[in-house]
Structure 1
Amino acid sequence: MDITIKLITAAEQLFDGHGYMATGMDRLTEAAGISSRTLYKHAGSKSALMAAVLTERDRRFMRQIDVLSVDALFAALEDWIRIEGARGCLFLRARAETGGETPEIAEAVSAHKSAFRDRISDIVAADIGDADPDLSEQILVLFEGATHAAVYRDGAAIEAARAAASVLVEKTRS
């Protein structure tokens, strides 16, 4: 396995499980099975490594939600949480831990959230046959809320958001 991929994979598990601030460089080198010199050579810094982790996570997440209906969007969230676990949004947790003050992380979060908002808009338009910014915003908020509520409510949060989204989509269609 490529060292960079190995490092990003190990770092994502640690950052996702323990948080950005609680994950030290020693822990990262141990988890990746590399020296600190190799870590810095391939990552540059802890914040650059976190940005690389977020970029990779964005790629996987956006592939997961490459769907054409709002219902399928929430089904994809159910699958994501079943596979990845329910710990809330890593992007928002990283931003909260750094206060939005770490440029590499803030940029990765901003890019993801912008692309995510666009994807939601595309899904809504595909589902109802036309762009609807208000409905897109409502679906976005339901999705984000379900992602975080799943931490303590498991699948029930996603089911509730999915049901609410269904009502909104049907109301828009009629």
Structure 2
Amino acid sequence: MTETQPVRRRRGRGARERILKAATELFTAQGINATGMDQLSTVAEVSKRTLYTHFPSKDELIGAYLQSLVDPLLPVPPSLDRPTMNPREQLLAVFDRKPSESTAPFRGCPLLNVSVEVPDPGHSAHQLAAAYKREFARRLTDIARQAGAADPETLGEQLALLFDGAAARGTVLNSSHTAACARAIAESLVDAALADVGPASA
């Protein structure tokens, strides 16, 4: 009879960070519904008691995971701290993000994935994903306004929709190359929107 190998647990500080790191890896690779708390505690090398001390429920862990993604994924308007990129370049930069080097299937946008896995619009995770998508379009609109677009709201929504469409198609096709095609379309949209204000401002 083969004895079960005991799960290795790490002592000391940093348990919360390890749990979030494990959640990010597992939720990205296999989705939140397929990831159980037992697996999370094993990969994070913490006891179930420690896991629930930091995150009393899976929903709270999902919320912390999503919050950790929001700031890095949102477009950042140009400022004095980032003088090298003009508004036009910033609008297109959202399509230039390189996915991490991995042999795992391409998973696209994690916020879109969560909204599919948690379809209830009243669920906190779904609401957070929806709020992120609204903020994503709002920031694109602000940058479009800085760029001088005649109708920044429309351009911001078009670019947000294009970004989400590329992410969804890339997930289905297991390909990150859809972003390059989306960027070419975005460039045409942006340049057309900026060209429209030329004659009026002359």
TM-score range, shorter chain: 0.7 to 0.9
**Residue in 2 that maps onto 1:107:** 127
**Residue in 2 that maps onto 1:141:** 161
Match of 2:109 among 89, 106, 110: 89
**Matched residue of 1:78: which SS?**
coil
In structure 2, what is the Cα distance between the partners aligned to 1:82 and 1:26? 26
Confirm or deny that 1:98 pairs with 2:118. yes
Equivalent pairs, count:
172
Runs of 4+ with deviation above 6 angstroms: none
Flag the 1:82–1:52 CA change in 2: closer, same or farther, 3 A. same
More helix by share: 1
**Matched residue of 2:97: which SS?**
helix
More off after superposition, 51-60 vs 72-81 = 72-81
**Residue in 1 that maps onto 2:193:** 172
Flag the 1:164–1:101 CA change in 2: closer, same or farther, 3 A. closer
Flag the 1:12–1:153 CA change in 2: closer, same or farther, 3 A. closer
In structure 2, what is the Cα distance between the partners aligned to 1:145 and 1:73? 16
TM-score (norm 1): 0.85
Larger gyration radius, structure 1 or structure 2: 2
TM-score (norm 2): 0.75
Q: Which has the higher contact order (CA 8 A, sep 6+)?
A: 1
**Matched residue of 1:100: which SS?**
coil
Flag the 1:6–1:74 CA change in 2: closer, same or farther, 3 A. farther
Q: Which runs of 5+ in 2 are unaligned?
A: 1-12, 79-86, 196-202
Q: Which runs of 5+ in 1 are unaligned?
A: none
**Residue in 1 that maps onto 2:72:** 60
